[in-house]
Structures are given as C-alpha cells and as structure tokens.
Structure 1
Amino acid sequence: MAAPPALAFSTDNCTIGRAMDVLGERWTFVVLREVFNGIRRFDDMRRHTCIPRQVLTNRLAVLVEQGILRRVPYREAGQRERHEYRLTEKGFDLYPVLVAVAAWGDRYLAGPEGPPIEFEHRDCGAAVEVGLRCAAGHELAGSREVQGRPGPGVRPFAEPA
C-alpha cells in the first residue's frame, strides 16, 4: 500500500492545529454557545453553565486576547463597572462551526427526546443545516467527496533530528 501523500508535508504550520490551540479547550465552545445565545455577562454565564470561576475567567481572557470576543463595560445603578462579552466578526465567523458541532452532537449524542436546541433561519423559520459546497457552487453529498491538497503555505516534511 502506498503511503498517504500527506506524509510528505509538514504539520508545523497547520491552521487546524493553530485553531485548536485557541478553541480546543473543553469550555471554549460552551462559552461561545452562551454568547451566541445572548448570555454575555460573567455571572450569568457562571450561573447558567456552572463553569468554575477561574476557568471562565481564563477562557474569556483567551477569547478576548484572540479577538473573538470584545469586552464592553456596563454599570448597573449603585454597582461597580463590569464587562459583558460581545462577539467580534472573528467570533461571528465561528457560528457555522458551532452549528456543525451541534449537528454532530445531535446525531450521535442526543438523548431519546431529541436535541435540546434547533437552529432556524430567522427569515423563514426553516431548519438550518450544515453542508459542504465547493467554490464552483456544487453541493456535496458527503465528506467522502472532499479531499485535501497542498495549499500555498505547505512545507515539506523533515524527519526530526
């Protein structure tokens, strides 16, 4: 059997690996889910998710540092200034990823009563589906119709010394 062509290429600059450095911690998408659902304040997130305080603090700091969320100050009457967390464009670009993760979870992990949330198109109310489409506009029937190819940033693989 021939070796997979991908073995010829380095993974040291892999954008999937880089993305997972930012997004791969368990609580990251839980925090993003909350913000996408309009829960933007620290105490509300903590109460709603039971994320440990320090973990939530760290996740929010990383998401702000990476430009996925931005802090917006607010002050309730008689209280000190606090911050809520809003999505940036970079953050909004993660919504299809969140929907894809939810679809996978719905398919393989939902309880017998079904998924706890469904996504719908605001304009018509139809269910939102995750799909693959090529740049020429062809809808792909499934993942087996996709293959990787070297991109402009590919580097040759070098055996570790």
Structure 2
Amino acid sequence: MKTETARPTCSIARTLEVIGDRWSFLILREAHRGNTRFAEFKEILGIAPNILTARLHTLVEAGVLEKHDYRAEGERTRSSYHLTQAGKDLKLTLAALQQWGDIYEPREEGPTVLRRNTQTGELVSVAFIDTTGQAVPDENVTFEPVPGGPADHLIWR
C-alpha cells in the first residue's frame, strides 16, 4: 500500500514543492508576459519538451495555471496554459526575485526589465507594506511564529 508523505508545515517549503525549480519560475515569467502555448515556452526558454511537460503538469495540478484546449484550423487540438488567480498572485514573488537579481547578480549592461506603475509611469520597488500602506524597512520586519503552531518552538530573528 502506498503511503502519502506528509506535507511540510512550513508554507515556504510547501510553496517550493510547487514552484521551487528554475523552470517553473521561468514558465511563470513567460505566462506573466502573455505567453500561453507550449511551443512558445519551449522556444523562448530552450527547455526540453519532457521537462516542460512535467513542469506545466505540476503548475496545473497545483492550480497555478489552467489548461485550455484550442484548435487552429486544419491542425490537431492543442493546449494553452493560463494564469489562475494563484498564478497572478505570484507576480510579486517574481518581481522580488528580479529586484534581488538586479541588485546582487546585476548584468554589466544593467537591468533588462523595469518595474513601473502603469498609471503614473514611475518606477516601483518590491517592499513590505503595513496596514496603512506605508513601506516598512526590511530590518524592521520579523517572521513571528503563530503561538501554539508548529513553528512556535523556533527562534526567528
């Protein structure tokens, strides 16, 4: 009898089970750019078809992408992959990774993409925001275990 492995209690660990590899993040980057088709992902990313198939399957199963069938005239039915709300909500995560990379792994020529407010055109940064809408410096943010929860015994600094 097959036993199901326990899911991690840590939300970061659970998230990494879904999107914790390079290809998943790059597929999501392309989906946020509006690419939806297998052939587009394959060509843009240079990813092997078997790996792309596996990653798309994982993202669909996790509810990050949803699969839609389409058929061009005279061709067989194919699938396209569209962001769900869960996938759209990963935009901030992608932006945070991009921002970190621009700072700590910069290209000599500078960034390839800028994050801008579509209404004002101003550059934007990823930050912690409090309930009043004000940015909070990273050094003023802590990760606090929920009392009585599985991380309650851990010391976070």
* Closer, same or farther: CA 74–153 of 1 in aligned 2, 3 Å: farther
2:59 matches 1:63:
yes
Does 1 or 2 have the higher relative contact order (CA < 8 Å, sep 6+)? 1
**Are 2:146 and 1:151 aligned?**
yes
Q: Percent identity?
A: 36
Kindly tell me: are residues 146 and 58 of structure 1, through their superposed partners in 2, closer, same or farther at Cα, counting changes over 3 Å? same
Q: Distance in 1 between matches of 2:132 and 2:33?
A: 33
Alignment of 1:88-99 (within 5 A): 88-99=84-95
124, 135, 142: which one aligns with 1:139: 135
Superposed displacement of residue 128, structure 1? 2.4
Report the secondary structure of 1:45's partner residue.
Answer: helix
Cα deviations by residue, 1:38-94 (Å, 9 ceiling, x for unpaired): 111001110111011111101100000000000111111100011111000111110
Deviates more, 1:45-54 or 1:119-128: 119-128
For 2:148 and 2:45, locate their aligned partners in 1 and report how far apart those are by CA, in whole Å: 39
Residue type matched to 2:140 in 1? E
Unmatched tracts of structure 2, length 5 or more: 1-7
Structure 2 counterpart of 1:31 = 27
Q: Which residue of 2 aligns with 1:107?
A: 103
CA deviations over 1:17-52 (Å, ceiling 9, x no partner): 111111111211100001101111001110111011
Give the SS at the match of 1:27: helix
Quick one: distance in 2 between partners of 1:133 and 1:126?
Answer: 18
Q: What RMSD in Å do the two structures reach over aligned CA positions?
A: 1.6
Partner secondary structure for residue 84 of structure 1 = strand
TM-score, with length taken from structure 2:
0.86
- Aligned pairs, how many? 145
Give the residue type in structure 1 aligned to 2:38: F
1:36/1:112 CA distance change after superposition, 3 Å: same
Structure 2 distance, partners of 1:136, 1:150, is: 23
**Secondary structure of the equivalent of 1:56?**
helix
Looking at structure 2, the residues matched to 57 and 45 of structure 1 have their Cα atoms a distance apart, in angstroms, of 10
